[in-house]
Amino acid sequence: MSGKMKLGVFPLDVGHHIAAWRHPDVPPGGATDLSYFRHLAQVAERGKLDMIFFGDQMAAQYPDDESIGRTSRVLRPEPIALLSALAAVTERIGLVATVSTSYFEPYHVARKFSTLDHFSNGRAGWNIVTSWNDKEALNFNRGELLEHGLRYRRALEFVDVTTRLWDSWEDDAFLHDKDSGRFFDPEKLHVSNFKGEYFSARGPLNLPRSPQGYPVLVQAGSSDDGRDFAAKTAEVIFTAQPDLTQAKAFYADIKAQVEAAGRSPNHVKVMPGLMPIVGRSEAEAQEKFQRLQDLIDPQIGWVVLSRHLGGVDLSAYPLDGPVPELPLTQGNQSRQRLLLDMARRDGLTLRQLYERVVGSRGHWIVAGTAEQIADQMESWLREGGADGFNLMPPWLPGNLEEFVDHVIPVLQRRGLFRTEYEGRTLRDNLGLPKPTNRFKDGRKNIWI
């Protein structure tokens, strides 16, 4: 890492833990209530966090069996509308939305993020995903999956068209000269007239170049194609890393790929997910986590575990009995073997096994005092595992409030985190350069 750490918060629904909605302090109806999101953004801004980040899913997904109705993971407001509303009630925090390159047109995407960047005075970020999931496809008149590599080639072209649209106007193209009647300088207007393999968009965009030039480009893919795409385009990389050893390997690999792509590793911030649980003592933190674990609906735990074990039928086995010997199925066998080995090694019951699986979602959980959490974050930062972290609160808003009130001051006291925002834009705060307009002075694109 270089300098202080970067921090984002990723509020999913009313918390990342699958049972969050049953937590006594969690507001009902959170996911569709603007005042809930406003509160989250304002707490995060009080903590001087770099950004608030929203994932996306363009389908309501739920188990279609006897556990139907027992999950809150079916609701998702549209993320640009959400962040635009938050732009109006915050001043400094970055606003990052996930938008897929599979279900949108580049002109719409360019325009939405430009609007958000203008309205927020330079605080927009775009988490680029290529997601193509069956349930989503069915909502968009499509049936079949695109092949993985093709999705990324399409995504690269999508980003190319979109950045060209953002470069339609040079930064000083608009003159607003009332006396002479000249509103814009036509020499500073560039019509890209793009015709590619997958997309065409003539341009120009009907908005001036936005304060940041482009929103901050974020990526979270960890496959080979995903890393290649991130190395070429991303400025922030979100990643799931369960421990420091794996985090260091990922960090070293991605920074090397960024350098190999001809970009500065300093201009790409690697931010693993972190699920913090703050207590006055370690025991209290553990207790808080266990209270949440106890709220997992057995039917939902069962469904999730059965899915992770390759769709095997568990109905013959008792919930609090030992994990039985099970045959491997055609699904992800390495994950099946990993879970079964873990269960045997630690002598787990079926309930204990699903608690491990549905609790963490593969991310790094740290339960402890504020000092203990800060220690862990510091060591990841100093040992080359991270440039910062994306907080994934297990329940909301309480867990975020505790982090901001107790952990942030410790990080600040140690000089690991800002006490005031460095600048006005998300790029300023992340220490990322503003991309130069590729058309200015006849230049080629030099934003990377």
Considering only residues 153-172, where is the footprint of a copy of itself by CB under 8 A? 168
- Of 359 and 368, the one with the shorter C-beta distance to a copy of itself is 359
Which tokens belong to 113? 């993020």
Reply yes or no: is the peptide bond before residue 24 cis, omega within 30 of 0: no
- Which residue among 148, 150, 153, 184 contacts a copy of itself (CB under 8 A)? 184
Asked if 131 touches a copy of itself (CB under 8 A), the answer is no
Per-residue contact track with a copy of itself, 308 to 337, x per CB under 8 A? ------------------------------
| Residues numbered 75-114 forming contacts with a copy of itself, rule: CB under 8 A | 75-78, 80-82, 84-89, 103-105, 107-108, 111-112, 114
Which tokens belong to 366? 């740290």
**What is the bridge-based pairing of β-strands 388-391 and 216-219?**
unpaired
| Residues numbered 30-69 forming contacts with a copy of itself, rule: CB under 8 A | 32-34, 38, 57-60, 68-69
Asked if 116 touches a copy of itself (CB under 8 A), the answer is yes
**What is the bridge-based pairing of β-strands 182-184 and 194-195?**
unpaired
Asked if 22 touches a copy of itself (CB under 8 A), the answer is yes
Asked if 176 touches a copy of itself (CB under 8 A), the answer is yes
| Residues numbered 210-239 forming contacts with a copy of itself, rule: CB under 8 A | none
- Of 75 and 261, the one with the shorter C-beta distance to a copy of itself is 75
| Residues numbered 267-306 forming contacts with a copy of itself, rule: CB under 8 A | 297, 299-300
- Of 34 and 338, the one with the shorter C-beta distance to a copy of itself is 34
Is 43 in contact with 405 (CB distance < 8 Å)? no
Q: For residue 65, give the 3-state DSSP assignment.
A: coil
- Which residue among 47, 55, 203, 359 contacts a copy of itself (CB under 8 A)? 203
Please count the other Cβ atoms lying within 10 Å of the Cβ belonging to residue 42.
Answer: 17
Which tokens belong to 275? 């699920």
Q: How far is the CB of 160 from a copy of itself (least distance, A)?
A: 14
The letter for the amino acid at 393 is P
Among candidates 437, 441, 447, which has minimal Cα distance to 170? 437
Asked if 140 touches a copy of itself (CB under 8 A), the answer is yes
Q: What's the CA gap between 370 and 413, in Å, rounded?
A: 12
CB-based burial, 393-407: b 16+ in 10 Å, e otherwise = bbbbbbbbbbbbebb
- Of 200 and 245, the one with the shorter C-beta distance to a copy of itself is 200
